[in-house]
């Protein structure tokens, strides 16, 4: 059992289809065979019953009344008709109104009730036979009453015909089954052609090529190809972001690290303790800045990673704003006001990523803006940070990586992370002057 459970899923599609086809053909074949036998028997019965009836009618028609008695001058055509079943034995019997057999074999069985032509099964010696009985009524001066005619015949020809019909039906069925099997095989082969094609295309690829496979395939196979392409795109994004991270890190770290090295050298060469302390303070400030830069870079890498992997949950933007606000309070980055609506503002998103975006916006405002700084949430799914300043001189490419407004230095990563988060949530990052200040807003699609 375990063996088959294990084997079954690995059975080839062709084998499965072949098994299914065989099952269908066998079941269908059995059904058609039974139907053909039944139909053949029915057809043979009807055919030869008519023959019997014809013979009985011709015997009945040959009865005349002569000298007050029924006389049967049987025509040879009766027997010629019955001889159409060439190998069957024949029995007939004509019974007068008094119940006496006028002519024929007295051994021919009577029907259960005479009258209208009635067909019935009976025996003929030790062979099964089929009989017909009909009645002709006479109303002559010298002779009146019913004369019953019984004609019977063994059933060899019926069986032969029934077998013949069934045999023909089964032959046709067999040929049709073979044709269906061949066609099914061909159809299956052509249906499975895209699979090896996809395999070949993947195998022929450069190992670093993660672009989507552009193959014309049927819809069913596209169900496989499209997730494959999605998967590769995700892989591509992650590889790219990793590459960017490494590149950015190298690029970003080179200058501060070089400066640190130079200042450390200066500090090493400086004998005056006061100047040396000043240099040390600069080194500390640089190190803090470097640390923040590293945090942001890691945060961005994490967020880009999360946007691809984290499932989206329903979150209340007010909770995000509150978290960001409290973080700023705790780290002592500066004073800000928190403005929240009374009702929850639900969006679908990753709370960690949204929090990181909010933190960056608030950090920028506190650092570069003019107090009072406010962080708030609006009902239509907007998290905003506002200050009373004029904002940076240019906002057109702010938010791209390493583009800083350049006032007091900053990596520029903060806005880039915020923008990436907004976009990965299907929203936008909007920067611009508002009435009495400057506002940075994460506008997200709300959930009603």
Contacting residue, 46, 80, 230, 379, with another protein by CB under 8 A: 80
**CB of residue 115 vs another protein: minimum separation in angstroms?**
24
Given the rule CB under 8 A, which of 67-75, 110-118, 188-196, 305-313 is the region that contacts another protein?
67-75
Among 73, 206, 214, 271, binds another protein (CB under 8 A): 73
Q: Which of 9, 86, 273, 409 binds another protein (CB under 8 A)?
A: 86
Pick the piece of the chain touching another protein (CB under 8 A) from 28-36, 42-50, 79-87, 244-252: 79-87
- Taking CB under 8 A as the binding criterion, the range among 73-81, 157-165, 171-179, 199-207 that sits at the site for another protein is 73-81
User: What is the rounded CA–CA span in Å between residue 418 and residue 444?
Assistant: 12
413 near another protein (CB under 8 A): no
Q: Cα separation of 328 and 179, whole Å? A: 78
Q: How far apart are CA 297 and CA 418, in angstroms?
A: 12
206 phi, psi to nearest 5 deg: -65, 140
To another protein, the closest distance from the beta carbon of 29 in angstroms equals 32
Q: Does 161 bind another protein (CB under 8 A)?
A: no
| DSSP conformational letter for 378 | E
Determine, following the binding rule CB under 8 A, whether residue 440 of this chain makes contact with another protein: no
Nearer to another protein by Cβ, of 80 and 121: the residue is 80
Among 37, 43, 53, 72, binds another protein (CB under 8 A): 72
> In the set 74, 181, 198, 260, which binds another protein (CB under 8 A)?
74
| Interaction of residue 76 with another protein, rule CB under 8 A | yes
Residue 84 in contact with another protein, rule: CB under 8 A = no
Among 3, 98, 126, 206, binds another protein (CB under 8 A): 126
Q: Which stretch binds another protein (CB under 8 A): 8-16, 84-92, 174-182, 375-383?
A: 84-92
For residue 37, how many C-alpha atoms fall within 13 Å in the half-sphere facing its CB?
5
Applying CB under 8 A, the site for another protein has a residue count of 23
Distance CA(301)–CA(245), nearest Å, equals 7
Asked whether position 25 contacts another protein by CB under 8 A, the answer is no
Angle, CA 293 vertex, CA 291 and CA 299 arms, to 5°: 105
Q: How far is the CB of 124 from another protein (least distance, A)?
A: 7
Beta carbon nearer to another protein, 74 or 188: 74
Q: Which stretch binds another protein (CB under 8 A): 70-78, 168-176, 238-246, 347-355?
A: 70-78
Stretch in the footprint of another protein (CB under 8 A) among 98-106, 169-177, 316-324, 333-341: 98-106
What DSSP state is assigned to residue 410?
A: -
Long-range contacts of the stretch 416-421 (C-beta < 8 A, 24+): 416/300, 417/296, 417/299, 417/300, 417/303, 417/356, 417/357, 417/360, 418/357, 418/360, 418/361, 418/442, 420/300, 420/303, 420/304, 420/307, 421/303, 421/307, 421/353, 421/354, 421/356, 421/357
Output the smallest distance, CB 41 to another protein, in A: 22
The residue among 109, 146, 149 whose CA lies nearest residue 125 is 109
Tokens of 65: 């009344």
- C-alpha span between 82 and 381 (Å, rounded): 97
Q: Is-contact 345 318, C-beta < 8 A?
A: yes
Please state, in angstroms and rounded to a whole number, the distance separating the CA atoms of residues 119 and 57.
Answer: 13
Q: Note the residues at the interface with another protein (CB under 8 A).
A: 71-74, 76, 78-80, 82-83, 86-91, 102-104, 124-127
């Amino acid at each position: 059992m375990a063996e088959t459970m294990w084997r079954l899923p690995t059975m080839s599609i062709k084998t499965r289809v072949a098994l299914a086809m065989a099952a269908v053909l066998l079941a269908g074949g059995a059904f058609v065979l039974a139907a053909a036998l039944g139909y053949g028997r029915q057809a043979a019965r009807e055919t030869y019953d008519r023959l019997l009836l014809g013979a009985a009618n011709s015997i009945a028609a040959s009865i005349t009344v002569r000298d007050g008695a029924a006389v049967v001058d049987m025509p040879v055509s009766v027997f010629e008709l019955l001889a159409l079943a060439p190998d069957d034995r024949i029995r007939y019997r004509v019974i007068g109104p008094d119940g006496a057999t006028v002519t024929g074999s007295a051994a021919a069985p009577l029907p259960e009730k005479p009258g209208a032509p009635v067909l019935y099964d009976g025996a003929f010696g030790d062979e099964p036979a089929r009989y017909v009985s009909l009645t002709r009524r006479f109303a002559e001066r010298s002779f009146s009453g019913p004369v019953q005619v019984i004609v019977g015949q063994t059933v060899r020809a019926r069986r032969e015909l029934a077998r013949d019909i069934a045999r023909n039906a089964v032959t046709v069925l067999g040929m049709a089954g073979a044709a269906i099997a061949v066609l099914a095989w061909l159809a299956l082969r052509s249906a499975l052609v895209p699979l090896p094609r996809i395999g070949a295309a993947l195998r022929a690829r450069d190992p670093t090529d993660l672009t989507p496979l552009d193959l014309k395939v049927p819809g069913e196979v596209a169900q496989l190809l499209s997730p494959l392409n999605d998967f590769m795109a995700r892989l591509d994004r992650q590889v790219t972001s990793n590459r960017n991270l490494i590149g950015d890190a190298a690029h970003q770290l080179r200058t501060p690290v070089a400066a640190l090295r130079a200042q450390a050298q200066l500090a090493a060469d400086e004998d005056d303790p006061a100047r040396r302390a000043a240099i040390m303070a600069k080194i500390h400030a640089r190190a803090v800045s470097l640390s923040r830069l590293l945090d942001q870079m890691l945060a961005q890498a994490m967020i880009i990673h999360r946007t691809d992997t984290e499932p989206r949950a329903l979150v209340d933007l007010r909770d995000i704003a509150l978290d960001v606000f409290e973080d700023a309070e705790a780290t002592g980055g500066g004073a800000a006001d928190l403005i929240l609506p009374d009702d929850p503002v639900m969006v679908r998103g990753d709370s960690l990523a949204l929090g990181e975006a909010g933190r960056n916006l608030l950090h920028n405002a506190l650092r570069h803006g003019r107090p009072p700084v406010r962080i708030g949430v609006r009902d239509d799914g907007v998290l905003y940070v506002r200050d009373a300043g004029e904002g940076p001189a240019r906002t057109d490419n702010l938010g791209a990586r390493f583009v800083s407004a350049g006032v007091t230095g900053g990596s520029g990563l903060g806005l880039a992370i915020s923008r990436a988060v907004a976009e990965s949530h299907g929203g936008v990052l909007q920067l611009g002057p508002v009435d009495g200040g400057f506002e940075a807003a994460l506008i997200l699609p709300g959930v009603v």
